[in-house]
Amino acid sequence: MIKTDVVIVGAGPTGLFCAHQLGIIGLKCEIVDNLDKIGGQCIELYPDKPIYDIPAVPECTGEELTNNLIEQIKPFNFNFHLNDRVQQLKNENEKWIVKTTSGKKFQTPNVVIAGGVGSFEPRKFTTKSAEKFDGTSVLYSIKDKTIFKDKSVAIFGGGDSALDWAIELSDTSKVSLIHRRDEFRGAPASVQKIKELSEKNIINLFTKYSIKDVKGNGSLEEVEIKSEDGKSKILKADYVLGFFGLIMQLGPIAEWGLNLDKKAIPVNTENFETNKKGIFAIGDICTYPGKLKLILSGFHEGALAARGCFKYARPNEKYRFEFTTASNIIKDRLGVK
Amino acid sequence: MAKIKYIEHNGKEHIVDVQNGLTVMEGAVQNDIPGIDADCGGSMSCATCHVYVKEDWYDKLTKKEMGEDDMLDQAYEPNSNSRLSCQIMVSDDLDGLSVYMPEKQV
């Protein structure tokens, strides 16, 4: 059990800046994120897209913003728990017991939910029959590529993941690549490579097709694909891989007994606390009259939530407001002279 | 201003006046019409405002910008009538437009 002052759910810009504010006021925190990297939507959805409305930063990309935020909280040495998701919150003796999917446990008086629109999960096939094989022969990510050796693999998708795996697996597997249109959104070099492999009949390429059905007695045997004008084909397949990007799901957050308004958590604007004592929500996931889904609003919300956390983490102390320019205590915390 | 008809997957229709300059997505969100999520808020970074537009109207809309089809690849059951409603800007010319919602967005 890890004891800390605050658990932050979500390592996007809002969660990161909230961690900074906690560090500044002398609190410790642990940050949990479902993705395998820090940055949230900024990194997953638009690492290269320029952002123009960060105060005093005329232009920066999602990746630059993330790197700067990581740099800014370095002095505090907070722990990140990536590839992990907060599953359960339970109240025990005025403290929150936070459990993650991987089995980690935290004890904390405060939880700050900075979860964006929820956690990122792979978009799955909509075909009902695919569920039966989910995790065995219908896969959305690859952990061990050796299982595909000498097998027939049908790969669906048109982005880099689909193209890269089609190219890589074509060495040792019989690969079919199926995409709903004839343009690909992957890197031009990969698209070129796929065309070459298709011309040499190393890869079977089917464009303007999508999945219709998967079939098999016990194990997967074939996949049926259909075109928009109703043509269908049957391909032999031991494995079916889908790479349709990630979607955001509210996930377990919906089960923590918090008030929800559509997919957002109502908060008060004084300290961004939810209807549960010690649970705060900031950034895109919170809502209140006038809410703007801007990164800068998330920063403000994180700063106030951090002060809200202080009350429960240091019940016997009084929070004293200080400026970073003037306070020697803060300079100590930042490790600057 | 344009009268826009939003048709849920179950057939339920919502007809609202949407101001010029707003997007079809914003018209839905501001009028609390279910079926359009718009998780990313209209930055063409998700595919949760996906709608189908029938041919007669599809051809009259401004063409898709670079990137819209890439996002639509990640939508729920996209087809050749698919659009992201955050990329359809409302003007007088769109008066009478109907958009059909997919069974779900994610």
Which residues from A are below 8 Å from B37, CB to CB? Answer: 263
pLDDT value of residue A321 = 94
User: B22 lies in a domain?
Assistant: yes
Share of chain B above pLDDT 70, in %: 100
Q: How far is A63 from chain B (nearest CA, A)?
A: 15
Instruction: Please report whether residue B105 resides in a domain.
Output: no
Query: Under an 8 A CB cutoff, do A245 and B48 touch?
Result: no
In a domain, B77, yes or no: yes
- In three-state form (DSSP H/G/I as H, E/B as E, the rest C), the secondary structure along chain B is CEEEEEECCCCCEEEEEECCCCEHHHHHHHCCCCCCCCCCCCCCCCCCCEEECCHHHHCCCCCCCCCHHHHHCCCCCCCCCEEEHHHCECCHHHCCCEEECCCCCC
Using CA atoms, how far apart are residues A269 and A179, in angstroms rounded to an integer?
46
Residues of B in contact with A226 (CB under 8 A): none
B15 pLDDT higher than 90: yes
**Taking Cα atoms as reference points, which of A95, A89, A55 lies closest to residue A255?**
A89
- CB B73 to CB A123 under 8 A? no
Residue A204, amino acid: N
Residues of A in contact with B31 (CB under 8 A): none
Give the count of domains, chain B: 1
What pLDDT is recorded for position B54? Answer: 94
As a whole number of angstroms, the distance between CA A149 and CA A68 comes to 42
pLDDT category, B41, cuts 50, 70, 90? Answer: confident
What is the residue-level pLDDT of chain A in tens, covering all 337 positions?
A: 999 999 999 999 999 999 999 999 999 999 999 999 999 989 887 788 899 999 999 999 999 999 999 999 999 999 999 999 999 999 999 999 999 999 999 999 999 999 998 888 888 998 999 999 999 999 998 888 999 999 999 999 999 999 999 999 999 999 999 999 989 988 999 999 999 999 999 999 999 999 999 999 889 999 999 998 889 999 999 999 999 988 888 889 999 999 998 789 999 999 999 999 999 999 999 999 999 999 999 999 999 999 999 999 999 999 999 999 999 999 999 999 7
Per-residue pLDDT at A275: 97
> Which residues of B make CB contacts under 8 Å with A?
37, 39-41, 43, 45-48, 69-70, 73-74, 76-80, 106
Reported ipTM exceeds the 0.85 cut: no
CB contact under 8 A, A181 and B69: yes
C-alpha A212, offset from chain centre: 29
* β-pair partners for B54: none
Please list every residue in chain B whose beta carbon sits closer than 8 Å to the beta carbon of residue A140.
none
Give the Cα separation of A163 and A206 in Å (integer): 13
Most A-contacting residue of B74, B81, B84 (CB-CB within 10 A), to test interface:
B74
> CATH code at B43?
3.10.20.30
Residue B106 belongs to some domain of the structure: no
**Is residue A194 within 8 Å of residue A167, measured between CB atoms?**
yes
Is B56 a member of any domain?
yes
Q: What CATH number is given for A2-121+247-334 in this structure? A: 3.50.50.60
Confidence of residue B44 (pLDDT cuts 50, 70, 90): confident
Q: How far is it, in rounded angstroms, from Cα A102 to Cα B77?
A: 32
The residue segments making up the domain with residue B78 are: 2-100
Instruction: Identify whether the C-beta of residue A280 lies closer than 8 Å to the C-beta of residue A274.
Output: yes
Pick the closest to residue A87 from A72, A103, A64 (CA basis). Answer: A103
Q: Domain residues of chain A, as ranges?
A: 2-121+247-334, 124-242
Write down the pLDDT at residue A245. 85
Chain B contact set for A244 (CB, 8 A): 73-74
Closest chain B residue by Cα to residue A243: B74
Q: Which residues of B fall within a CB distance of 8 Å from A293?
A: 41
Cα of B72 to nearest chain A Cα, Å = 10
In a domain, B41, yes or no: yes
Please indicate whether, in this complex, the C-beta atoms of B73 and A126 are within 8 angstroms of each other. no
Cross-chain residue pair A248–B39, CB shorter than 8 Å: yes
The structure tokens 């200080």 sit at A322
Residue B39 pLDDT exceeds 90: no
The residue type of A312 is: Y
Per CB-CB distance under 8 Å, the chain B contacts of A249 are: 106
Residue B71 lies in a domain: yes
> Residue B67 pLDDT more than 90?
no
Q: How many CB pairs under 8 A join A and B?
A: 50
Q: What is the length of chain A?
A: 337
User: Radius of gyration (Cα) for chain A, nearest Å?
Assistant: 24
Q: Tell me which H or E stretch contains A110.
A: strand A110-113
Please compute the mean of the pLDDT values over residues B32-54 and round it to a whole number. Answer: 90
Picking from A117, A123, A126, the nearest residue to B74 by CB comes out as A123
B32: nearest CA in chain A? A262
Question: From chain A, which residues contact B within 8 Å (Cβ)?
Answer: 41, 45-46, 49, 117, 123, 126, 157-159, 179-181, 183, 185, 228, 244-245, 247-249, 263, 293
Q: Would you give the DSSP letter of residue A124?
A: P
Closest chain A residue by Cα to residue B45: A45
CATH class of A124-242: alpha beta
